Amino acid sequence: MRVLVTGGAGYIGSVTAALLLERGYAVTVLDDLRSGHRDLIPDDAHFVEANVGEPVAYADALAGHDACLHFAASAEAGLSMQRPEAFYANNTAATLRLLQALVNAGIERFVLSSTCAVYGQPERVPISEDEPKEPANAYGHSKLLIEQALPWLGELRGLRYAALRYFNAAGATERRGEDHAVETHLIPLVLQVAEGRRAEIDVYGTDYPTRDGTCVRDYIHVADLAEAHVLALERLDEHERIVCNLGTGSGFTVCEVIEAARQLTGHAIPAHEAPRRAGDPATLVAAAGRAHALLGWTPRRSDLEELVGSAWRWQQQRSARRV
């Protein structure tokens, strides 16, 4: 099977592209390298440098492909509230143009990298797939709009699809990890303090109704996420439509992540208590049963030591190569 991986020069996309190749798939990576990194693209993947929103530039490259795994997107929730029009352009409009190109090329399988941000402020935790979809930011809404379009493409165009709503991606493989120009995720930010690239880590809110007063998040190792995407692609042989959360069903507090990083790195990692950020829920944890039932997927690497330790090892290697 030939698989197109959009955003395959990015964090989750590159790890998934490498796993697909390992499993015997032929892979084409489509990425414009605005936020991706050429050196993260697997050596055996065919690479097309193009923007998914400009299908004229890659229409010929679609020939012969059987499926598309779509990771290319803007993902910073906070920034989406400052530049909503950019997120709708990149995440919604560009994805719709990609979908039209896929349909025109006869590609009948599509796996969407979606997000728990489609739920907004949850009414119940753990969060099931049946919870109301009321995004609290433009990022979540830009993804939800694509989820709402997919059933029509399934019914009217025969598209078999999976929408995977994942929670907090973290960790690294030996060769690939998280490297954003503007970092917003907790674990890499904490590790940047350990490396001396930041003076301290801000802790936004210490008075939440959690076990230590800081927010709880459901972290999933990037290699576990990649496994889920490959399983979803394969399960589209049996299911026309798959919609499920990707999470562990449990979570770690901000303070627990910081303390784990202190223990693993041997650095003090000063923390600064800051006010709560508007819109931050106390706890975001997935109900993960549907992914296990439909995909046969169980996270295997998502304990805190592996999440933080693998990210630390990769970040040190990345920094050493830049010297």
Q: How far apart are CA 226 and CA 166, in angstroms?
A: 11
Lookup result for tokens 């929408």: 163
Query: 139, 166, 208, 219: which one is catalytic?
Result: 139
**Angle, alpha carbons 45-47-51 (nearest 5°):** 135
Burial zone of 68 (CB within 10 Å; 0-12 exposed, 13-18 middle, 19+ buried): buried
58: annotated active-site residue: no
Rounded Cα gap, residues 32 and 188, in angstroms = 24
Residue 246 neighbours by CB under 8 Å, 6+ apart: 164, 165, 166, 167, 220, 224, 225, 228, 286, 288, 291, 297
Q: What one-character DSSP code corresponds to residue 278?
A: T
Q: What are phi and psi of 170, to 5 degrees?
A: -155, 175
**Cα torsion angle, 33, 310, 270, 81, sign:** positive
CA atoms of 47 and 51, how far apart (whole Å): 12
CA distance 46 to 304: 34
Give the type of residue at 161.
Y
Phi, psi angle pair for 105, to nearest 5°: -85, 0
Report yes or no: 116 and 131 within 8 Å, Cβ to Cβ.
Answer: no
Distance CA 247, CA 175 (A): 23
- In terms of DSSP bridges, do strands 271-274 and 109-115 run parallel, antiparallel, or are they unpaired? unpaired
Residue 162 Cα to chain centre, angstroms: 14
Yes or no: say if 80 and 198 are a contact pair by the CB < 8 Å rule: no
Contacts of 143 (CB under 8 A, 6+ apart): 73, 91, 112, 114, 115, 117, 118, 135
Residues identified as active-site: 139
